[in-house]
Amino acid sequence: LALKRRLEWRGLDGRVVSVSRGGGFPSDADMVFIGGGSDRVQRALSGELERRKEEISDAIGGGAVVLGVCGGFQLLGHSYTDATGTTVAGMGLLDITTIVEAPRLVGRVVIDAQFAGHDMKVAGFENHGGRTSLGPGAAPLGKVVRGFGNNGADGTEGAVQGNVVGTYLHGPLLPSNPALCDALLRVAFSRTGARELTPLDDRLERAAHDAAELRR
């Protein structure tokens, strides 16, 4: 919704296509978003996402950007091992692996992030049992200023590998972080040679960001 609105406010069209299990995948996608879910949902969808890896990889090869949040972030990696010890395969589009451990990592997060050549502070909320480790192929989305991040140990949060971005931050992520939202849109538009995005009046969004950054 945030991505679509920020396009509409600039007089641009944004078409959202929901992809369900067994449904068609738009070959001209500029952006792919994969949200979160419970362990049960991740187990149920892991096979479907594996089967769609080629479609999503083709979209990335054409310049599309991919964003995965929480469960979506985990399934963009090589594998996810849940609290029962069951391991499900991910798509391998990010060089990460995730293993669930207790306790859950819960609370407000602020990170110093960098994406597509833009430095920004990103604020949100995390609630995950997964401990995610980055391999050499992925870079962190940001450095933790406050909160736990990927694993509560190495100070990293999220991952970036080419046009693929993953993060644990909810909060909501995009409405309260307009700089990140627009950075994703710029990457998505770069494949079409579109012009630079027109600046918007982000006073409300910045207030939401500041509140998220300060909230305990």
Report the catalytic residues: 70, 170
Separation of alpha carbons 33 and 133, rounded Å = 21
* Structural contact between residues 30 and 65, judged by C-beta atoms closer than 8 angstroms: yes
- Structure token pair of residue 71: 């469960």
Separation of alpha carbons 209 and 216, rounded Å = 13
DSSP summary character for residue 147: S
Separation of alpha carbons 20 and 97, rounded Å = 25
Other beta carbons less than 10 A from residue 201's beta carbon: 8
User: CA neighbours within 13 Å on the CB side: how many for 210?
Assistant: 6
